[in-house]
C-alpha cells in the first residue's frame, strides 16, 4: 500500500535543473567547449563532482584535483546567484496542492535530493516545513543511481521501500528508486523517462486518488 512519497528536488519541486544547466554550460564555455541539452539529461540527479567529471570528459579537458575543486566552486557560485533570486512562486504547478493532499491522507513525505544546496532552496521557496524528512547531498555517500538517498528517506519515515513511491525527473533517479525496491513516477518526458512506472508531465495532471489507483494497478 502507498505509505510514503519521496520527492527529488531539482526538476520536480522546482525547475532548478535549468539553472544547473546554465551554470555548467558557462563552465564548459569558459573552458572552450559546449554541450547540448541532450547531454545535460545525463547530469540530472548526479552529484556536483561527478557532473564535473562527465563534462570535462565531453570537452576532452584534463584538470588537476585542485583545479577541479576550483571550477566546481565557481559553478556553484554561478548556480547560487540564480538560487538567491528564487521566490515561492517558482514552486512547480500543482506541487503544493499535491503535498497538501498527501498530508491530509496521512502519507509520509520526504525529500531525496543529491544537492548540497537543498535546504537553502527549500528556504527560498518557503517549503522547509512541507517535508517530514529531508535527505540531501550532505547525508549521502553514494550518488543516484545508487538507492542510498531514497533508502535513507524511507528509513526516516519508518516505511518499507515497497510502500514508497519516488517522484523523479532524472533517469538516474528512476533507476535509484527501482534499485531501492520502490515505485517510480517520472516527472517530465515519457521519451526520456522510459524506465518509470508511470510518467506525468506536471503535478496538475495527477491526484492522489488517480495515482493510488494506478499504483494499485501495479501491484
Ligand atoms: C541534483 C541535480 O539534484 O543535485 C544535479 O539534479 C546536481 O544537477 C546535484 O548536480 C548536486 O547539486 P548541488 O546543488 O549540490 O551542486
Ligand atoms: Mg532532479
Q: What pLDDT digit, counting tens, does each position of 31-52 carry?
A: 999 999 999 999 999 999 999 9
Q: In this predicted structure, what is the pLDDT of residue 214? A: 82
Tell me the pLDDT tens digit for each residue of 150-181. Answer: 999 999 999 999 999 999 999 999 999 999 99
* Complex confidence, ipTM: 0.98
Most distant CA atoms of the chain, gap in Å: 52
Mind giving me the DSSP string for 100-156? HHHHHTT-EEEEE---TTHHHHHHHTT-GGG-SEEE-TTT-SS-TTSSHHHHHHHHH
Tell me the pLDDT tens digit for each residue of 56-86. Answer: 999 999 999 999 999 999 999 999 999 999 9
Instruction: Quote the ligand 2 centre to 62 CA distance (angstroms).
Output: 27
- Among protein residues, the one with the nearest Cα to ligand 1's atom 4 is 115
Q: Which residues pair with 111 in a beta bridge?
A: 7, 134
Enter the C-alpha cell of residue 177. Answer: 528508486
Give residue ranges with CB within 6 A of ligand 1. 9-10, 20, 43-48, 51, 76, 113-117, 137, 170
Residue 10 falls in the annotated catalytic set:
yes
100 is in an annotated binding site: no
Residue 100 falls in the annotated catalytic set:
no
Q: What is the pTM of this model?
A: 0.94
- What is residue 171's three-state secondary structure? helix
Amino acid at each position: 500500500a502507498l505509505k510514503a512519497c519521496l520527492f527529488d528536488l531539482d526538476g520536480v519541486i522546482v525547475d532548478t535543473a535549468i539553472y544547473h544547466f546554465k551554470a555548467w554550460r558557462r563552465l564548459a564555455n569558459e573552458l572552450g567547449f559546449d554541450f547540448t541539452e541532450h547531454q545535460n539529461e545525463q547530469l540530472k540527479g548526479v552529484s556536483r563532482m561527478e557532473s564535473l567529471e562527465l563534462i570535462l570528459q565531453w570537452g576532452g579537458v584534463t584538470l588537476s584535483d585542485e583545479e577541479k575543486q576550483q571550477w566546481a566552486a565557481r559553478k556553484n557560485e554561478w548556480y547560487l546567484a540564480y538560487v538567491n533570486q528564487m521566490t515561492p512562486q517558482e514552486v512547480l504547478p500543482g506541487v503544493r496542492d499535491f503535498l497538501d493532499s498527501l498530508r491530509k491522507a496521512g502519507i509520509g513525505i520526504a525529500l531525496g535530493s543529491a544537492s548540497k544546496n537543498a535546504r537553502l532552496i527549500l528556504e527560498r521557496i518557503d517549503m522547509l516545513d512541507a517535508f517530514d524528512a529531508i535527505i540531501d547531498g550532505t547525508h549521502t555517500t553514494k550518488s543516484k543511481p545508487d538507492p542510498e538517498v531514497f533508502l535513507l528517506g524511507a528509513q526516516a519515515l519508518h516505511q518499507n521501500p515497497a510502500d514508497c513511491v519516488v517522484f523523479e525527473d532524472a533517469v538516474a533517479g528512476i533507476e535509484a528508486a527501482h534499485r531501492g525496491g520502490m515505485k517510480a513516477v517520472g516527472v517530465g518526458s515519457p521519451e526520456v523517462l522510459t524506465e518509470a512506472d508511470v510518467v506525468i508531465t506536471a503535478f496538475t495532471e495527477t491526484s492522489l486518488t488517480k495515482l493510488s489507483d494506478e499504483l494499485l494497478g501495479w501491484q
